[in-house]
């Protein structure tokens, strides 16, 4: 696979609205990092993880990630549908690696979608509720049709 130190530059083409919404070139906070396609690309390549915890103020200022982020050029392509993106990585040894992605294709893999939702739920819940309550809440949600009283469910949502 491609590693961050092999990259000379990266070109990302995305739907124009995605570029408008997530076009922050140099995010200063973790929240701004979520709205920076360039930072998200750097994070995916540099860390291999784009989970909730990765979008911290420290990560958006990490010199290695900033250097990689600055190698990413974002281009708006109105011909692409909202779910599509094209990425080209140019390596220091002269290779060009290209990939075309459609998030709707990813959504067809229901097991992967479920895993991603569970991971996101855990990422968002565990810092507030802790591991034990998050696990109990997930178990209740998975058996929601058997929950006779929603008070038991809502009692688990308090940190």
pLDDT tens digits for 122-155? Answer: 888 888 888 998 888 888 888 888 878 778 777 7
Residue partners of 111: CB distance under 8 A and separation at least 6 = none
Closest residue by Cα to residue 87 from 20, 37, 17, 13:
13
Q: What is the pLDDT of residues 16-52, one digit of tens each?
A: 888 999 999 999 999 999 999 999 999 999 998 888 8
Contact 31, 118 (CB under 8 A): no
Q: What angle do CA 40, 42, 43 make, to 5 degrees?
A: 65
Place of tokens 């040894």: 93
pTM tops 0.95: no
């Amino acid at each position: 696979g491609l590693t961050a130190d092999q990259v000379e530059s990266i070109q990302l083409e995305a739907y124009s609205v995605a570029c408008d919404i997530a076009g922050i070139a140099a995010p200063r906070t973790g929240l701004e990092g979520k709205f920076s396609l360039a930072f998200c690309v750097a994070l995916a390549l540099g860390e291999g993880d784009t989970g909730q915890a990765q979008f911290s103020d420290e990560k958006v200022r990490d010199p290695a990630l900033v250097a990689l982020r600055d190698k990413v050029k974002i281009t708006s392509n109105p011909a692409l549908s909202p779910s599509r993106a094209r990425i080209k990585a140019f390596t220091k040894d002269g290779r060009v690696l290209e990939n075309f992605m459609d998030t709707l294709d990813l959504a067809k893999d229901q097991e992967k979608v479920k895993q991603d939702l569970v991971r996101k739920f855990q990422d968002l819940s565990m810092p507030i509720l802790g591991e034990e309550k998050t696990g109990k809440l997930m178990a209740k949600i998975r058996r929601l049709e058997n929950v006779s009283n929603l008070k038991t469910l809502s009692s688990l949502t308090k940190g």
